[in-house]
């Protein structure tokens, strides 16, 4: 609406009641669609992500998972439908959104220190030298301690392991006390130990602070016992629901348009047949820096 001004801290942490008696969604999309030229990534997407919920976004390469994150960040407008984050246009809600990007390789000569990266989160990602007051320095120390990164707070990023860098990136995303946390493949290329450490950090955040989590991943098992709802994007459409309803042979076979078998082995889910049905995807010139670009941005 014209002239709408979102509050500085939109809504209480626990959420106020909606008409259905549930908390008001922090993310609400209606009939959302996104396309690149003639290629439709997804359409008819309705989302209600409420305080404290942990959503996993699954699907093959090119299905639009990372593009969904970009839309929620306000960096990619929808092709159709409406989207509100904290009751406002996503761009106006940006200061209340934390973002953990895909794991990247830090060059050995990267001299930015861990505490500086967290500080960039407090500064709104404005790079450059600045003098910070004692309160800000204490806040940075508290964030580093919360994510278990105090021991290497002054270490250059280029000297840290992948798991250590991801802890610092999560700290950067949490520095502004976000209401919504968007995670784009945060466990990619991490070993099982570090995958669990990263997911537990994110899960603790949403349980302790009511932060809504949207977690894009190719592998559901590291977060299976944490997830409230799954959004599965696939060639024949999408499906939303609890993991036990979405991750079934019948559900995924319908989404892929061919037989897909979902097996449960020792508490883990194994999907057989979906890989062969993934669409052929030729990423754009910047795609070598990401695992799933969902198409090059023009």
Bridge-partner residues for 74, per DSSP?
none
201 lies in a domain? yes
Residue 120 inside a domain? The answer is yes
Q: What is the pLDDT of residues 168-188, one digit of tens each?
A: 999 999 988 999 999 999 888
The model scores a pTM over 0.85: no
What SS3 class is residue 287?
A: helix
Q: Is the pLDDT of residue 162 over 80?
A: yes
Give Cα 211 distance to the centre of its chain: 12
Per-residue pLDDT, averaged over 93-101, amounts to 92
- What residues make up the domain containing 69? 27-289
Residue 195 lies in a domain: yes
What CATH number is attached to the domain comprising 34? 3.40.50.300
- Is 21 inside a domain boundary? no
In this predicted structure, the answer to whether residue 277 has a pLDDT above a threshold of 50 is no
Task: Find the range with the poorest average confidence among 50-64, 75-89, 154-168.
Answer: 154-168
Query: Is 22 within a domain?
Result: no
Helix (H, G, I), strand (E, B) or coil at 17: strand
Minimum mean pLDDT among 99-103, 249-253, 269-273: which range? 99-103
Pairing of strands 237-241, 97-100: unpaired
| Residue 5 within any structural domain of the chain | no
Q: Fill in the DSSP letter of residue 24.
A: P
Q: What is the mean pLDDT of the chain?
A: 82
**What is the domain count for the chain?**
1
- More confident site: 288 or 175: 175
Sequence length of the chain is 298
Distances (CA, A) of 53 to 24, 70, 96, 226: 12, 19, 16, 9
Assess whether pLDDT exceeds 70 at residue 68: yes
What does DSSP assign to residue 156? Answer: B
For residue 71, name the pLDDT band (cuts at 50, 70, 90): very high
Q: What is the pLDDT of residues 2-37, one digit of tens each?
A: 343 333 434 434 444 554 556 899 999 999 999 999
The answer to whether residue 7 sits within a structural domain is no
Residue 52 makes CB contacts below 8 A (sequence gap 6+) with 15, 206, 207, 210, 211, 212
Beta-strand (E) ranges in the chain? Answer: 27-36, 39-49, 54-58, 80-85, 97-100, 180-184, 212-216, 229-234, 237-241, 261-265, 268-272
**Cβ–Cβ < 8 Å for 153, 115:** yes
pLDDT at position 126, please? 44
Task: Judge whether 221 and 56 are in contact, CB under 8 Å.
Answer: no
* Residue 51, pLDDT above cutoff 70: yes
Report if residue 4 sits inside a domain. no
Phi, psi (degrees; rounded to nearest 5) at 237: 135, -150
pLDDT attached to residue 44: 97
* Cβ contact 245:251 at 8 Å: yes
Could you give the C-alpha distances from 291 to 13, 33, 126, 294, in angstroms and in order?
A: 33, 22, 26, 9
Which range has the worst mean pLDDT, 134-138, 167-171, 227-231?
134-138
Count the Cβ atoms, other than its own, within 10 Å of residue 70: 19
pLDDT score of 146: 87
């Amino acid at each position: 609406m014209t002239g709408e001004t979102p509050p500085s801290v939109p809504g209480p942490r626990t959420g106020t009641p909606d008409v259905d008696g549930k908390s008001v969604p922090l993310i609400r999309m209606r009939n959302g669609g996104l396309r690149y030229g003639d290629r439709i990534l997804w359409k008819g997407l309705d989302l209600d992500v409420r305080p404290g919920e942990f959503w996993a976004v699954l699907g093959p390469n090119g299905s639009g998972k990372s593009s969904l994150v970009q839309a929620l960040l306000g960096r990619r407008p929808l092709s159709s439908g409406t989207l509100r984050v904290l009751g406002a246009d996503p761009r106006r809600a940006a200061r209340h959104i934390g973002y953990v990007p895909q794991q990247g390789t830090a060059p050995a000569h990267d001299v930015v220190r861990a505490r500086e990266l967290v500080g960039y989160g407090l500064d709104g990602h404005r790079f450059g030298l600045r003098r910070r007051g004692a309160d800000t320095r204490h806040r940075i120390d508290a964030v580093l301690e919360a994510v278990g990164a105090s021991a290497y707070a002054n270490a250059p990023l280029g000297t840290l392991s992948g798991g250590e860098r991801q802890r610092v990136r999560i700290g950067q995303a949490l520095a502004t006390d976000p209401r919504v946390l968007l995670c784009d493949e945060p466990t990619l290329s991490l070993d099982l130990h570090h995958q669990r450490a990263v997911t537990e950090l994110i899960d603790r955040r949403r349980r302790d602070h009511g932060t809504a989590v949207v977690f894009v991943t190719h592998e559901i098992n590291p977060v299976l016992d944490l997830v409230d709802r799954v959004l599965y994007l696939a060639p024949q459409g999408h499906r939303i629901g609890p993991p036990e309803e979405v991750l079934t042979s019948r559900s995924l076979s319908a989404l892929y348009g061919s037989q897909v078998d979902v097996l449960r082995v020792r508490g883990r889910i194994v999907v057989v047949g979906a890989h062969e049905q993934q669409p052929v995807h030729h990423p754009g010139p910047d795609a070598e820096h990401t695992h799933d670009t969902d198409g090059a941005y023009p």
